[in-house]
């Protein structure tokens, strides 16, 4: 089962996960980070700005989870732009070492296989940051995604398009297709860190952590992973049946264990 850490705020979550990432990079300067986009990981990226001062990040490598298909990479809401703006530039990472799936239509047929090959060539992802959609998706693996899936094109659900419309002028501008690491790809990362904040995520979190293992709730795939950490605020934790046990376990955890 995933370790669940219930924190008081997004900032506390950001500080906790940033500390883990900073320690990883200090131990392994060419660490491979799995980068999520969307609102959820922003407190982690913000906290990292302070944590990485004085740390050599020149060798750090990174792979984004997903990208929209057919959206100009220069568009402010392409995940290439978001990763550049929120992660690469503020943290001073080498842009050549940070990859995002290629959503260009002309090359989309082999973009998934190309991305898988690049992740494999890097030796796999050390720490994968994840958010979760209100429909339970991780990456853009919408309900019904195979637990064995690899990086490929998916069709976004209307729910996800509505959820993401806030980043665009109108819902009509939200692409219908994406290219996303598969659940099988994500499960190969050595440490999964899933974050969620707010009541709107409470059901998806409860289903992912405590519900049945099912492709209908792609986030439940984390139950298959030997080292998965779920960091949630009180609102996102509000539907967890074992919340008190998670609090007790974390409070009594030896400090040296980290997350
Ligand atoms: C983003 C991603 C998605 C988001 C999810 C939650 O790279 O893969 O799974 O993590 O849609 O989005 P937010 O964080 O905006 O609520």
Where do the domains of the chain lie? 3-232
Instruction: Give the rounded percent of residues in the chain with a pLDDT score beyond 70.
Output: 100
At residue 25 the predicted structure's pLDDT band, cuts being 50, 70 and 90, is very high
Q: Indicate the pTM of the whole model.
A: 0.97
Distance 58 CA to ligand 1 centre (A): 27
Which residues sit with their C-beta closer than 6 Å to ligand 1? Answer: 36-40, 65-66, 131-133, 137-140
Q: Cα(246)–Cα(26) distance, rounded to whole angstroms?
A: 29
pLDDT in tens, 216-252: 999 999 999 999 999 999 999 999 999 999 999 999 9
Q: Looking at residue 113, what DSSP letter applies? A: H
| Residue 70, pLDDT score | 97
Domain 3-232 classification at class level: alpha beta
Q: For position 129, what pLDDT does the model report? A: 98
pLDDT (0 to 100) of residue 110? 98
Best substitution site from 133, 218, 230, 231 to test ligand 1's pocket, by max atoms within 8 Å of Cβ? 133
Which residue owns the Cα nearest ligand 1 atom 15?
A: 38
Q: Which amino acid residue places its CA nearest to atom 4 of ligand 1?
A: 131
pLDDT tens digits for 175-219?
999 999 999 999 999 999 999 999 999 999 999 999 999 999 999
**What distance in Å separates the CA atoms of residue 128 and residue 68, rounded to the nearest whole number?**
19
Question: Tokens in use for 75?
Answer: 């568009």
pLDDT at residue 1 in the model: 73
Taking only the tens place, the pLDDT of each residue in 58-85 is 999 999 999 999 999 999 999 999 999 9
Task: Write the burial class of residue 13 (CB in 10 Å: 0-12 exposed, 13-18 middle, 19+ buried).
Answer: buried
Which residue has the CA at smallest separation from atom 11 of ligand 1?
133
Q: Where are the alpha helices (DSSP H) in the chain?
A: 10-27, 42-51, 79-83, 89-91, 108-121, 158-164, 183-187, 202-210, 243-251
């Amino acid at each position: 089962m995933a370790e669940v850490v219930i924190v008081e705020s997004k900032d506390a979550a950001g500080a906790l996960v940033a500390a883990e990432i900073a320690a990883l990079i200090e131990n392994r300067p060419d660490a491979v980070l799995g980068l999520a986009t969307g609102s959820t990981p922003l407190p982690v990226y913000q906290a990292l700005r302070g944590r990485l001062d004085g740390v050599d990040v020149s060798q750090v490598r990174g792979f984004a989870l997903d990208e929209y298909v057919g959206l100009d990479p220069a568009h402010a809401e392409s995940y290439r732009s978001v990763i550049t703006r929120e992660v690469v530039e503020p943290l001073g990472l080498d842009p050549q070492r940070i990859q995002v799936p290629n959503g260009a239509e002309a090359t989309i047929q082999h973009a998934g296989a190309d991305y898988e090959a690049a992740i494999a060539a890097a030796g796999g992802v050390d720490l994968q940051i994840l958010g979760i959609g209100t429909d339970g998706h991780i990456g853009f693996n919408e309900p019904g995604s195979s637990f064995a899936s690899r990086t490929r094109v998916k069709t976004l659900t209307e729910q996800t398009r509505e959820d993401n419309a806030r980043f665009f002028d109108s819902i009509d501008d939200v692409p219908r297709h994406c290219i996303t690491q598969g659940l099988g790809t994500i499960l190969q990362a050595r440490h999964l860190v899933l974050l969620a904040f707010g009541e709107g995520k409470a059901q998806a979190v409860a289903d992912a952590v405590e519900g049945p293992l099912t492709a209908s709730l792609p986030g439940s795939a984390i139950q298959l992973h030997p080292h998965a950490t779920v960091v949630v605020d009180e609102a996102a934790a509000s539907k967890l049946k074992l919340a008190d046990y998670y609090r007790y376990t974390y409070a009594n955890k030896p400090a040296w264990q980290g997350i």
